[in-house]
Structure 1
């Protein structure tokens, strides 16, 4: 017998030894990795991976042995019996597979590894039997036994390590042990082999392979194992990526769970019910903060069994008995009990405690979740109801209640009260069964009634009530409200129902009418804004499911206010009613038409296949509204402007979509009235600019940065300053003076516009007081007012209040109004307020005359003292525009005949001033004379003109 070292060095070609060790290492690593993965894979895939691991292990043992044998004793002419070699491969695989099955079934690593080791040993000695050479193979029994022992110990260790390392990334210790087992067993056993040469020739019968042929087979086996290793590596990489993605999702899920826990915690703290949690043995582990507030003890005092300390002594025994029975039950479902709790002030209140167990996957209770609900008033009501039950039965004879009493034991109901009057069935004087009652409940309501009643009876409720339709003796259906008390025995089982039936048909009708009125416009009978919002939400939710689009169209009637003012509200109502009828008749059945208020309508078009599919229905709307509406002998034309927004293109949220449609409508009315305009993202920019203007106006008001600048008004005959117009300016944070165009949107906002006017009046009266204190008479000061100032019906009081604060009168104040204020819906009120102001000494100027729609009729109806000719006419004097000068001449002649002053705005050249003076214009205003000045510069300007610098003689220069 040689040593292992001598055997390897002297009897083997070291190149083949190295190759055998490499093949053994590859098979051990690959086989161990696949075996480890088979223990983690799904049950349906475990067997396949286990078989592959057994094949890799068997091939590894086989190829390790025969690769080493290729380099063994090159002096011998060695051949190999393939039948015996294949038998060794099958035996190795079988033992390895058997060990794997034990490993998967019971995870007994040592036993599984030992069985696999037996396979390695068997394979080695069977392989030795496959040798065909010119000699006899003699084994040293002691060495063979040592080799087998070492192999079994190492393979058993490999199995044990595989089990211990199965959850790690790679069980490399198991692979190392398996590698050591195969290599050690082979070379230790080979050190005990002696070849006794004989002269007899080698028998080569059967499937015999030469060294070269066996080498080819070994190479094929090696390539197969290499392919298996590459395949497993690729699969592991793919699995690793999938695991990483799963880990990312898990982290995201945990974050969502954390947020959910925060939401739940906030809900528990705000919930009027007191939530609590107990362990499987019934010891309270958590309790909501409200418990501490009610009983006056810290929450920790209620944990464990501490909650029992505040239970009423009379109730505690039954509560503990019921709770203990629920905990000890083999299959607990729920616990439900009522008892009294001692409050922080020492009084007791009734509470209802309900709990339900939570189970794990095996069905074992892991926790109890419960709540405490304050039912004090309910218990008091039950007591009062039971005490007065007989009194009610007697009193009900004088009412319209039908009284019934159902016995579970007898399965019969007795009837009393007004059953003849309400139901009309004479047979109710006798007892009836349950089918009699069920047969007369409306078939559509019957399932709901039975479900509701069963839930109350089985859920331990003390009351049951329901509303349903019931057929009376005449065959008609009436609406019934049934209420009853559920009388239970000591075991909590219902034994009796005592209740009433009340005819609520008229009430239901009234409720239906009220509900309709709450969701519809009384004039047009269309859905109102409330129902419109609900229909919009439903349409968008449906579109999310089926992938369709929803069009939201907001529609305004053009010049509707003027129609009301000229023809009256009856004509306006007729237009609104007829418009509603035409909209309904021109749109698809699934469309919703709503009136949002005034002359504003909204249309919801659901289930659109494309965003542009709304065009067809809108063409139908346009055609339907094209015909004038008849009102008496008049034919009233109907024009509209519409804004369109498409879900989900223009907004995902219903409110956001409505804003988009409103922006489109607003832009259409501003840019091209009478058209249908789709929302575009650029409209948001316009809305943002408007919002910024409103924000700037509010900030300027809050920080007192609204100031008047004064532009002089010149007497064109004398060249003297005879008054000023106060023009609004904004002082920025860096002291820059901004024009009113920076807050143009604020003048259209009723609230802000009034605040701006008040601020201007306050400033103007203060400036007048300061000038007068300095001995300066500035003349009359004109201030612009808006339509919003007239809507408050207190313009005169507001002006007088500002004047009083500064110690001034209104006799030096002019107010300037535009034509739109006079001809608007507030016309009569405007006239009244203007006359009231004139009695206080205020003069009224009509601003921007000639650019609007004011007529001579309006000038006669309204108290106007001054007409201001708009600068758009003045600036065309230099161009000798005959139309402009004709308008100017006409206005001047008209003002002269009406006894009104005229003011020409925007004079910038001497020629313009000469022309206007020659035509009899009273007053001029413009850059020719001076730009708007701050209040501090007014005295200096007046002083300069008093020295002759503004004498009108310069207008005569050539």
Structure 2
């Protein structure tokens, strides 16, 4: 028979605690180690111990007890709590034994596994955390090495791209999913990373299981051993499709015109620089065509900006449909468009292209159910034939465009060196005009208008003069181009009006009678409805009757599509009480039409006809002058002859019934002080 003391010592050395349970209701018999494991300081029963077992394994424990009592020993893992509530994990060996009274009992050996099981549980929780980190993260990790390529991918990745694992692994796995256009970039990126051992980061399109492509970001980082050798590559693939689409949309919006969808000035400048550099490197040519819609501002003024926008969109469509060569068609702003033509042969090729475009534009465009005539002007330059760099190419094409518009619009011109000098003079005139306004170098001179019957002064015409930096008085011709620049021309008109009305107030305060004052209005002023408001506010503010101010207009304000607006403004001026005089009468193409359509008070016979009276210049204009006078009389208009320099001219005009004269014979243009002296003398003689 086995020695119980020896057995107990052996169990203790093995780290085992033992206990004997005669029945569920009886008190257990536990050795010291078992009592410590169970925290059983007091006597306890088998039923109390069974209640400490984790409920999830309760049935398993009951079955094991029955098996052991039937004579078949069993070892199971039991989790639960000690009598004082601490977590306990044990391996329990169950077998049939004898109670102290010789009856059957359950003999249990306990091996403490709490620390080990808690470590395993903690490790499992870490593994679970890492698993969910991978599964729930949008990034799809993969592993690769230098010899085999990709060795591991996630199940999610395989489902996403619709590949079997063996297809996705190795060096060629990506070839099954990459967009063909992106494959060279990926190969170059990965090749560089493998060669240099550096991380890589690349964007490309992956083919999905449904056949569509999505933008993905692939990144990889090397792991090295202690000697610095790469032992693994760890990377991930991340879906960035929506981000890339948003970037593409943002970039498109930054580089394209929202109205026409064409490249805007930013993208045009970028391509201009790129194509010019490419042409220079390859000894090629680059053509640039600049286009403007003719009279586009008139469309906005007359029909509204909505109609102007539709016209621009239609014009852009015509450009895209008719420019079939490899080209960049861009809208630079407003009604300004440009065409970049790489590899163009010469000016003749560009002219042919523009001719085809102009032919297409002859078909009226439809805007809001009505047909609208659309015309454009174009200028071109070629690199390196006309320019040595991108900036110069743009400048010279723009100069050619200006010359085309200045020559009558609806035309095409190719750059010529002489145009540059002409443009420089034009820019200089505009700058001088702007500077004269800003530094108050403009001054009005006044030329008297007299009654041809009595010789008395009936009014004056205010004429623009400019004092240069040396103090010399200059004629308007020195800044002639400034009147074609709407901004500067309007500024000049405002400055003149301010000075003329100030002089009129001063003469009135001196008791000097100056009659009616004529001022010239530029085409620019007739394109701005503020012109009427400015006139009425100034005259009313000065307390001078509006009929004392006569607005002189030339037929230039009626040219083109601005004619309806000009007619309306002149009608409003007349209704507001201002006088209207048609200047340079007889030199235009539709003078009779204008007389019929606008409320003109006076006709001014152009000075060229007066100079040609009696054939002094080889052409006798006497018949024309007399006809104009009779026409004015028949229409009830005042007729003013300007440029009268001789008594013979004056007598002819007087005999034929001309009512008013103006010219050197009666007085040269003079500043305010001279006019005051003249009016003072007239008052004393009266």
Query: What TM-score do the two structures reach when normalised by structure 2?
Result: 0.64
Structure 2 counterpart of 1:615, from 326, 344, 348:
348
Partner of residue 412, structure 1: 152
Partner of residue 554, structure 2: 818
CA 1:805 to 1:481, structure 2 compared with 1: closer, same or farther past 3 Å? farther
Does the Cα contact within 8 Å between 2:206 and 2:215 map onto a contact in 1?
Answer: yes
Matched, 1:479 2:215: yes
Alignment of 1:216-255 (within 5 A): none
Structure 1 counterpart of 2:482, from 727, 739, 746:
746
Matches of 1:750 and 1:885, distance apart in 2? 37
Matches of 2:223 and 2:554, distance apart in 1? 78
Partner of residue 445, structure 2: 709
Matches of 1:562 and 1:758, distance apart in 2? 22
**Residues matched between the structures, number:** 542
Matches of 1:483 and 1:703, distance apart in 2? 64
Does the Cα contact within 8 Å between 1:405 and 1:496 map onto a contact in 2?
Answer: no
Alignment of 1:825-840 (within 5 A): 825-826=561-562, 830=566
Structure 2 counterpart of 1:886, from 627, 632, 636:
627
Structure 1 counterpart of 2:581, from 832, 842, 845:
845
Matched, 1:645 2:381: yes
- Structure 1 range deviating more: 449-458 or 463-472: 449-458
Alignment of 1:334-483 (within 5 A): 402-407=138-143, 411-414=151-154, 423=160, 425=162, 436-437=173-174, 439-449=176-186, 451-452=188-189, 465-482=201-218
Structure 2 counterpart of 1:731, from 460, 463, 467:
467
Matches of 2:168 and 2:284, distance apart in 1? 58
Matches of 2:597 and 2:216, distance apart in 1? 64
**What are the superposed Cα offsets for residues 347-374 of structure 1, whole Å, 9 maximum, x if unpaired?**
xxxxxxxxxxxxxxxxxxxxxxxxxxxx
Does the Cα contact within 8 Å between 2:449 and 2:660 map onto a contact in 1?
Answer: yes
**What are the superposed Cα offsets for residues 680-710 of structure 1, whole Å, 9 maximum, x if unpaired?**
3333322222233233323433432210000
Partner of residue 205, structure 1: none
Structure 2 counterpart of 1:681, from 403, 413, 417:
417
**What are the superposed Cα offsets for residues 861-920 of structure 1, whole Å, 9 maximum, x if unpaired?**
6565444343334444542454554355335534x2xxx544333333445545555665
RMSD between aligned alpha carbons? 4.8
Does the Cα contact within 8 Å between 2:513 and 2:679 map onto a contact in 1?
Answer: no
Query: Which protein has greater RCO, CA pairs closer than 8 Å, 6+ apart?
Result: 2
| Superposition deviation, residue 740 in structure 1 | 0.5
Matches of 1:776 and 1:557, distance apart in 2? 50
CA 1:744 to 1:390, structure 2 compared with 1: closer, same or farther past 3 Å? farther
Structure 1 counterpart of 2:319, from 558, 580, 587:
580
Matches of 2:679 and 2:338, distance apart in 1? 58
Does the Cα contact within 8 Å between 2:444 and 2:465 map onto a contact in 1?
Answer: yes
Q: Partner of 1:787: helix, strand, or coil?
A: coil
| Superposition deviation, residue 472 in structure 1 | 1.0
**What are the superposed Cα offsets for residues 467-504 of structure 1, whole Å, 9 maximum, x if unpaired?**
21111112332333457899999999897857562252
Q: Partner of 1:924: helix, strand, or coil?
A: strand
Does the Cα contact within 8 Å between 1:892 and 1:919 map onto a contact in 2?
Answer: no
Partner of residue 213, structure 1: none
| Superposition deviation, residue 712 in structure 1 | 1.3
Matches of 1:419 and 1:875, distance apart in 2? 96
**What are the superposed Cα offsets for residues 66-111 of structure 1, whole Å, 9 maximum, x if unpaired?**
xxxxxxxxxxxxxxxxxxxxxxxxxxxxxxxxxxxxxxxxxxxxxx
**What are the superposed Cα offsets for residues 603-640 of structure 1, whole Å, 9 maximum, x if unpaired?**
5444467xxx4324524643664574256899999876
**What are the superposed Cα offsets for residues 696-746 of structure 1, whole Å, 9 maximum, x if unpaired?**
323433432210000112233443222211111012333322111011111
Q: Which structure has the highest helix share of the two?
A: 1
CA 1:451 to 1:889, structure 2 compared with 1: closer, same or farther past 3 Å? same
Structure 1 counterpart of 2:363, from 618, 629, 633:
629
CA 1:481 to 1:737, structure 2 compared with 1: closer, same or farther past 3 Å? same
- Structure 1 range deviating more: 725-734 or 483-492: 483-492
CA 1:886 to 1:614, structure 2 compared with 1: closer, same or farther past 3 Å? same
- Structure 1 range deviating more: 733-742 or 711-720: 711-720
CA 1:629 to 1:476, structure 2 compared with 1: closer, same or farther past 3 Å? same
Matches of 1:856 and 1:510, distance apart in 2? 62
Matches of 2:567 and 2:234, distance apart in 1? 73
Structure 1 residue runs of 5 or longer lacking an equivalent are 1-388, 950-958
Matches of 2:265 and 2:218, distance apart in 1? 35
Partner of residue 497, structure 2: 761
| Superposition deviation, residue 665 in structure 1 | 3.6
Does the Cα contact within 8 Å between 1:643 and 1:679 map onto a contact in 2?
Answer: yes
Matches of 1:730 and 1:779, distance apart in 2? 25
Does the Cα contact within 8 Å between 1:583 and 1:621 map onto a contact in 2?
Answer: no
- Structure 1 range deviating more: 778-787 or 468-477: 778-787
Alignment of 1:122-201 (within 5 A): none
Structure 1 counterpart of 2:665, from 928, 939, 948:
928
Matched, 1:907 2:639: no
Matches of 1:821 and 1:720, distance apart in 2? 32
Partner of residue 779, structure 1: 515
CA 1:576 to 1:453, structure 2 compared with 1: closer, same or farther past 3 Å? same
CA 1:670 to 1:471, structure 2 compared with 1: closer, same or farther past 3 Å? closer
Does the Cα contact within 8 Å between 2:223 and 2:232 map onto a contact in 1?
Answer: yes
CA 1:496 to 1:750, structure 2 compared with 1: closer, same or farther past 3 Å? same
Query: What TM-score do the two structures reach when normalised by structure 1?
Result: 0.48
| Superposition deviation, residue 652 in structure 1 | 0.7
Matches of 1:861 and 1:880, distance apart in 2? 26
Alignment of 1:510-659 (within 5 A): 528-555=264-291, 576=315, 580=319, 583-585=322-324, 589-590=325-326, 594=330, 596=332, 602-607=338-343, 613-619=346-352, 621-622=354-355, 625-626=358-359, 628-629=362-363, 642-659=378-395
**What are the superposed Cα offsets for residues 102-136 of structure 1, whole Å, 9 maximum, x if unpaired?**
xxxxxxxxxxxxxxxxxxxxxxxxxxxxxxxxxxx
Matches of 1:688 and 1:431, distance apart in 2? 67
Q: Partner of 1:710: helix, strand, or coil?
A: strand
Matches of 1:569 and 1:703, distance apart in 2? 37
Does the Cα contact within 8 Å between 1:790 and 1:830 map onto a contact in 2?
Answer: yes
Q: Partner of 1:629: helix, strand, or coil?
A: coil
Does the Cα contact within 8 Å between 1:716 and 1:913 map onto a contact in 2?
Answer: yes
Partner of residue 700, structure 1: 436
- Structure 1 range deviating more: 749-758 or 632-641: 632-641
| Superposition deviation, residue 936 in structure 1 | 0.4
Does the Cα contact within 8 Å between 2:448 and 2:667 map onto a contact in 1?
Answer: yes
CA 1:483 to 1:824, structure 2 compared with 1: closer, same or farther past 3 Å? farther
Matches of 2:335 and 2:500, distance apart in 1? 39
Matches of 1:764 and 1:570, distance apart in 2? 40
Does the Cα contact within 8 Å between 2:376 and 2:411 map onto a contact in 1?
Answer: yes
| Superposition deviation, residue 650 in structure 1 | 2.9
Does the Cα contact within 8 Å between 2:256 and 2:262 map onto a contact in 1?
Answer: yes
Matches of 2:281 and 2:309, distance apart in 1? 45
Matches of 2:598 and 2:621, distance apart in 1? 33
